[in-house]
A and B are shown apart, each in its own frame.
Chain A
Amino acid sequence: MTAEIVTANRLIDGAVVYLTDEGAWSEAIADARLSETGAETASLLDTAARDLADRKIVGPYAMKAEDSALGPWPLSQRERIRAAGPTIAFGCPRAGF
């Protein structure tokens, strides 16, 4: 199967987070646990369901990813933008404004 990682948004501030090897949630996708089997993904989603009930996160789901030199990296454009933030610089380029 294609490898997967489990992601969600943190309840308090909405930040994008990833489920790690230790079963914690990290803002860095590099920390994400890359699941190689359906059973492993199911177990990660069980952890996520528990943390949803514990009000740590909202909207958990598994998404397809691959292993890269920098760690797990999503396959879809949507998830890449979600992982790295908007692809545009925001704010006005002129100093002071």
Chain B
Amino acid sequence: MYRYDEFDHTLVRERVDQFRDQVARRVAGDLSEDEFRPLRLANGLYLQLHAYMLRVAIPYGTLSGRQMRKLADIARRYDRGYGHFTTRQNIQFNWPSLTDVPDILAELATVEMHAIQTSGNVIRNTTADPYAGVAQDELEDPRIYAELIRRWSTFHPEFSFLPRKFKIAVTGAADDRAATTFHDIGLRLHRNAAGERGFEVLVGGGQGRTPVIAKTVRGFLPKRDLLSYLEAILRVYNLLGRRDNIYKARIKILVDSTGVETFAGLVEREFDEIRDGALVLPPEEIERIRACFAPPAYDLLPGDDAEFLTARRADRAFDYWCQTNVRPHRQPGYAIADISLKPPGGIPGDATAGQMDLLADLAERFSFDELRITYKQNVVLPHVRQADLQEIWRDLDAAGLATANADLATDIIACPGLDYCNLANARSIPVAQKIGTRLTESGRLNDIGRLRLNISGCINACGHHHAADIGILGVDRKGEEFYQITLGGSPETDAAIGEVIGPSFSYADIDGAVERILDTYLSLRRDGEAFGDTWRRIGSRPFKEALYGAA
């Protein structure tokens, strides 16, 4: 794993001291709320519906057992015993006191963590494929580049006051597990015709009230040019992005208004000016960072573990969990284990301090001290021996963490919604709970198969509803919660934005509506056909009829 160097340590420590002083001055009355607000936001501290909320960055979703244990410790000592993992591989604490936050940040600094740039109009935490370094379909570990981007973007003076927030995601694999098309910049490592590795650069993706799939501005960017090219994109955006209207300030609106070719031309012109400047990445620098992400010292195993296969045959529940939550690993005899934070009736993405401690423990004992957080709000043990899976599963089960539903219909992404969020129009979590419980009890999860069902409590779309097979958007209708359904979205290589299917449903009716959509899908799909394929083949009509009756 990447470890802080002396610059990182100094920078984070100085920031903690600075914020401690700012909080003291706020409490003493030397800073007004208007003066203080941007300062607290720059340190990830929001004021939500019920309390302050602290968002802590987990760079590219990777953390060690020690770091996870510290998050548990903070949840216990300064919060209400739990944390919420987000769709940007961060964690949020929902109940900290303002006056405790400097101490929390000081605690985080001891394990090389912080809340810098988790809010505000800056470059946010760069996210990456949660299976980075272990996926079979991966060309190269995207975290090397995410880390280089972190260094470049942290406290970047020119980009501290962008028109709006800015999110970057990187993948190095064939399957897109980082939703790169729904980011301000998506980077995809691939090989060009000459066999060299570089990036496809996508710009202008995003969700929110104007969902847009990112467009390619550069088919192939050599690695040496990565930071110079990103700098060029950010400069064009910083100069031309709108600052007069918050709804039109994201780069997606700029790219749409200039047209992608004109935008790419502006970027190329800027890039030409700086391509051989200070931001060039020499191979030695890339290799130096690569060494931080070197594979752990795996045992050399012949292949599938015989005892593991026997155990699966003997224990149906374990076998089912392996089917749904265990993925093939690039190292023979090893596996990737998805740990679901979506138990039926639970809160998507929430983990208690006790659960976090157990995850830390399992990482240290079985996964070379490494965990990943996914944008789907789950946790991953990235390097486990097949032979250890049954013991891991038993421990997870005892802690309520062995739900066998990764990528199934109950693996629901949900934003905090009106239960916590100041911006929300409707609740998301109880809707997720209702649907999760209903689908689990129906016994049809396995039959439905892989399906993305996501819920957002407002048009800002933190719950990724636009990118779901079945998306649910909470809306306010005269003070009452209603839910609009979109169908056919995807965040993967077949990226698509869901289509609104018709009038919205009440809180009481939304789970029944979802069930009717699933009934329609199951009755009309062809063998092995995924929801998106059925949707594209048959169109919206059968779903509309099922929901609203024949026209």
Q: Which residues of A contact B (CB under 8 A)?
A: 9, 11-16, 52, 55, 58-59, 75-78, 81-82, 85-88, 90-94, 96-97
Contacts and interface: CB of A to CB of B under 8 A. Distances in A.
Interface stretch (B109-117, B332-340, B349-357): B349-357
A75 B98 CA distance: 29
Name which of A11, A76, A91, A96 has the most chain B CB atoms within 10 A of its CB.
A91
A11 B399 contact: no
A55 B98 contact: no
B419 A15 contact: no
A39 B346 CA distance: 46
A85 B50 CA distance: 7
Interface in B41-59: 47-52
Contacts of A15: 50-51
26 contacts: A9-B47, A11-B33, A11-B98, A13-B97, A13-B99, A14-B48, A55-B26, A59-B33, A59-B47, A78-B49, A81-B427, A82-B50, A86-B50, A86-B419, A87-B419, A87-B427, A88-B419, A91-B81, A92-B352, A92-B354, A92-B355, A93-B400, A94-B400, A97-B355, A97-B399, A97-B400
B294 interface: no
A75 B399 CA distance: 40
B419 A77 contact: no
Given A55-B26, A97-B399, A77 B47 contact: no
Contact of B479 (A16, A59, A76): A76
A16 B433 CA distance: 26
Prevailing SS type, chain A contact patch: loop
A5 to B, nearest CB: 16
Contacts of A96: 354
A77 B256 CA distance: 37
A49 B497 CA distance: 45
A37 B244 CA distance: 37
Nearest to A9: B47
Interface of B: 26-27, 29, 33, 47-52, 80-82, 95, 97-99, 346-347, 350, 352, 354-355, 358, 399-400, 418-420, 424, 426-427, 429-430, 433, 476, 479-481
Contacts of B433: 88
B17 to A, nearest CB: 20
A97 B419 contact: no
Contact of B352 (A13, A16, A52, A97): A97
A12 B52 CA distance: 9
Contact of A12 (B97, B399, B426, B481): B97
Nearest to A93: B400
Q: When A and B form their complex, which 5 residue pairs have the shortest distance between CB atoms, in order from nearest?
A: A14-B51, A86-B419, A97-B354, A14-B52, A13-B97
Name which of B33, B355, B476 has the most chain A CB atoms within 10 A of its CB.
B33
Contact of A55 (B27, B52, B420): B27
B344 to A, nearest CB: 11
Given A58-B47, A86-B419, A52 B33 contact: yes
Nearest to A78: B418
A82 B420 CA distance: 8
A52 B426 CA distance: 29
Contacts of A93: 400
Given A14-B98, A81-B418, A90-B80, 14 more contacts: A14-B97, A15-B51, A59-B33, A59-B47, A77-B481, A78-B424, A81-B49, A82-B50, A85-B50, A88-B433, A91-B81, A92-B346, A93-B400, A94-B400
Contacts of A9: 47, 51
Contacts of B430: 87-88
Name which of B98, B424, B481 has the most chain A CB atoms within 10 A of its CB.
B98
Given A12-B97, A14-B51, A82-B49, A92 B27 contact: no
Contacts of A55: 26-27, 29
A77 to B, nearest CB: 6
Nearest to A58: B33
Contacts of B429: 86, 88
A82 to B, nearest CB: 5
A72 B476 CA distance: 23
A59 B47 CA distance: 10
A94 B419 contact: no
A52 B33 CA distance: 8
Given A81-B419, A93-B400, A94-B400, A14 B50 contact: yes
A77 B8 CA distance: 44
A3 to B, nearest CB: 16
A91 B251 CA distance: 38
A91 B352 contact: yes
B481 A90 contact: no
Contacts of A85: 50
Nearest to A89: B347
A16 B358 contact: no
Given A75-B479, A92-B400, A12 B82 contact: no
A48 to B, nearest CB: 12
A10 to B, nearest CB: 9
Contacts of A90: 80, 82, 347, 350
B141 to A, nearest CB: 33
Contacts of A58: 33, 47
A78 B417 CA distance: 10
A15 to B, nearest CB: 6
B27 A11 contact: yes
B260 to A, nearest CB: 39
A11 B29 CA distance: 11
A59 B40 CA distance: 15
